[in-house]
Structure 1
Amino acid sequence: MTRLVPRAAAAAAAVLVLGALPVAAATAAPSGESGPARTSTYLLPGDRVFPEGITVQGGFFYVSSTTDGTIFRGSLKGSTAEVFLPGGQDGRTTARGLAATEELLLVAGGPTGTLFVYDRHSGDLLGSFGAAGGFVNDVRVARNGDVFATDSTNDVVYRVTTDDLRSGSGRLKVFSPGSVDDPQGMFNANGIAISQNGRYLVVVQTDTGRLFRISTQDRSVQEIDLDGATVGNGDGIVLQGRTLYVVQNTTGTVSEVQLSAQLTRGRLVQTVSDPSFAFPTTAALTRGRLLVVNSQFNQRNNPQPFTVSSLQRP
């Protein structure tokens, strides 16, 4: 869900370094928490993976490769992942954001302008939906089964309804703008999340570090007031209740934002980092753990083994 962008100024909050070794190393707990915070990593096979998206479902995590569209799958109880969907199939030459349900695995195809829909169990392609000239970046599934995806170049949010999914293919239909404005030549709507009640989408605008709330009922778009703060280079986001985690790629951090009841205002609570982070792009929350993808987009000529960090929820 990323492009390589200039390093932004650090957010107006203290950065808490969790201090971890690459594999299962105990670390000091952040201030205000009791007991040790522990970080471990899952290893992804391959030396040119440059991963980006992640989703968790049914005891498994799924990770996408931007290099060739490979989708990896690993058990949450294990330490490694394996190839689930080989790259290059079905026109999936790259892959970005991911989302999963009990039955489906959805893959955002980035510059291919395509959203791919797979059977999560068999890996069979069930359908695909395209947008001309778009960059389909991130994807989420609402409780009613509708799918929402961002387009970072066109700064819009698409919706694929459950009826569309049953049809198997078609054009991606614009649901709403991704923000209240569209800075030209910038990377706009990127990470997306859905409130628990399904009434709102939250979208981050990467190059400006602004957050937006989109109503799924009347499609209205409103900037979330962060009282002057921003989440610059915000990439993937995770929303649980009113707590929003924003992965900031070039700064190598995750910011925690506490939102108001109607998601119209937010307060930047803390920004955390970890030695295992390597140009993190997005995250997934499961079992009290935050799984963070280490893309190494800034180390394309000399990457280290590719990993997903697993750390105690900030």
Structure 2
Amino acid sequence: MIALAACGGADAEDGADGAGLPERYVMPGERVFPEGIGADKKTGDFFVGSTTDGTIFRGNVRRKRMEVFLPGGRDGRTAATAVRVRDGRLWVAGRFSERLFVYDLATRRRLRTLRAPDVGASSSPRAERSLLNDITFAGDSAYVTDSFQPVIYRVRIRGEELGEIEPWIDLRETPVAYARGFNLNGITVSDGQRYLVTVNYRTGELFRIDVQTREVRKIDLGGDSVRTGDGLLLDGTTLLVVREEPGEIQPVKLSADLLRGKLGEPFGRSLLRLPTSMFELDGRGLVVNSQLDRGENPELPFTVAAVAIPPGTLPQR
């Protein structure tokens, strides 16, 4: 959970919530179609990536207008899905490029470009290429989903040194069923960093992964599903799932062992336009409006919406 004190500086013409923060954040450009979002908890800066050209935009919770942080196309970064911040580094998943890009936040210098290995021999023939989608961190490693290939990757982090992308789990040997099209999508980590939770976009199934044993177990939703689930946010035993369609945030109350879940009342639908990813700040979810379904007719400008999270949804600290 990100907690920052509210400050002045919100652009008055866009409206503000009760704390004086903007109700939406605006990206420049007419063909952005953004997807991932990550935040620097110390500064209130957040970063969003474009799926069309890999531009990384920077915003701040106190300011309406976002700016270009890393121009698109540089370093072979022609598209971006996940954008994550950890320990002064910006991690970007390169979608179909099969690459991860890691930057120094302070200098904007590229630290590493990591390329996913060909997993055809260990997972499945590459009828479709890889699509590196989402990233989360647990302990000394980053974990990455591949929506087209049945594998979860790992990158070891040893201080300043980064390892290579390595296949961590062959999902063919687990309850996760892959088919053509989008499969595993969002991934997040539990408070104690023992478990990862991930969602199958196509089936709406959730899975718990034990970081120590690599055991993958399906989370029992009592017959319900979160189909078109994309970004995930896990706070204690409350999971928020960003569902692209119908365009909403779906709360799931999980059991203590994260193996059972009950769907709550979705929210945010009136503010969202094919949402893909979010992070939470003082009771607000900053949610990327991707508009990936709009093709040649997006509603301009492209935005990140500030969605009020209903009281009682997340645990009180």
Give the TM-score, by structure 1 length. Answer: 0.84
Which residue number in structure 1 is paired with residue 223 of structure 2? 228
Within 2, Cα distance between the matches of 1:64 and 1:213?
27
Which residue number in structure 1 is paired with residue 82 of structure 2? 97
> In structure 2, which of residues 242, 246, 254 is the aligned counterpart of residue 251 of structure 1?
246
- TM-align CA RMSD: 2.1
One-letter amino acid matched to 1:117: V
Q: Matched residue of 1:254: which SS?
A: strand
Q: Is the 8 A contact 2:200 2:206 kept in 1?
A: yes
How big is each residue's C-alpha offset from its partner over 1:150-204, in whole Å with a ceiling of 9 and x where there is no partner? 11111321111113x744563x211124561333213111100000101000000
Q: Matched residue of 2:75: which SS?
A: helix
Q: Is the 8 A contact 2:92 2:102 kept in 1?
A: yes
Which residue number in structure 2 is paired with residue 265 of structure 1? 260
Which residue number in structure 2 is paired with residue 48 of structure 1? 31
> In structure 2, which of residues 149, 166, 171 is the aligned counterpart of residue 173 of structure 1?
166
One-letter amino acid matched to 2:201: T
Q: Is the 8 A contact 1:56 1:286 kept in 2?
A: no
> In structure 2, which of residues 55, 59, 65 is the aligned counterpart of residue 80 of structure 1?
65
Post-superposition shift, 1:148?
0.8
Q: Is the 8 A contact 2:208 2:216 kept in 1?
A: yes
Within 2, Cα distance between the matches of 1:188 and 1:232?
10
Within 2, Cα distance between the matches of 1:250 and 1:156?
25
Within 2, Cα distance between the matches of 1:121 and 1:246?
31
Within 2, Cα distance between the matches of 1:253 and 1:177?
31
One-letter amino acid matched to 2:136: R
Within 2, Cα distance between the matches of 1:166 and 1:260?
37
Post-superposition shift, 1:312?
1.7
Q: Matched residue of 2:36: which SS?
A: strand
Q: Matched residue of 1:134: which SS?
A: coil
Post-superposition shift, 1:118?
0.8
In the alignment, does 2:187 pair up with 1:187? no
Q: Matched residue of 1:218: which SS?
A: coil
One-letter amino acid matched to 2:177: D
> In structure 1, which of residues 282, 286, 295 is the aligned counterpart of residue 290 of structure 2?
295
Post-superposition shift, 1:251?
1.0
Query: Number of residues paired by the alignment?
Result: 281
Cα 1:210–1:39 shift into 2, 3 Å: farther
> In structure 2, which of residues 91, 109, 112 is the aligned counterpart of residue 106 of structure 1?
91
Q: Is the 8 A contact 2:39 2:46 kept in 1?
A: yes
Q: Is the 8 A contact 1:280 1:294 kept in 2?
A: yes
Q: Which runs of 5+ in 2 are unaligned?
A: 1-12, 119-128, 311-317
Within 2, Cα distance between the matches of 1:88 and 1:287?
34
Give the TM-score, by structure 2 length. Answer: 0.84
> In structure 1, which of residues 138, 141, 154 is the aligned counterpart of residue 137 of structure 2?
141
Q: Trace 1:20-31 onto structure 2 (pairs within 5 A).
A: 23-24=14-15
Q: Trace 1:10-29 onto structure 2 (pairs within 5 A).
A: 23-24=14-15
Which residue number in structure 2 is paired with residue 11 of structure 1? none
Post-superposition shift, 1:116?
1.0
In the alignment, does 2:275 pair up with 1:280? yes
Within 1, Cα distance between the matches of 2:266 and 2:50?
26
Which residue number in structure 1 is paired with residue 304 of structure 2? 308
Per chain length, whose mean CA-contact separation is higher, i.e. which structure has more relative contact order (CA < 8 Å, sep 6+)? 1
Cα 1:251–1:274 shift into 2, 3 Å: closer
Which residue number in structure 1 is paired with residue 200 of structure 2? 205
Within 2, Cα distance between the matches of 1:168 and 1:240?
27
Percent same amino acid at aligned positions?
A: 42
Post-superposition shift, 1:24?
3.5
Within 2, Cα distance between the matches of 1:135 and 1:211?
19
One-letter amino acid matched to 1:60: D
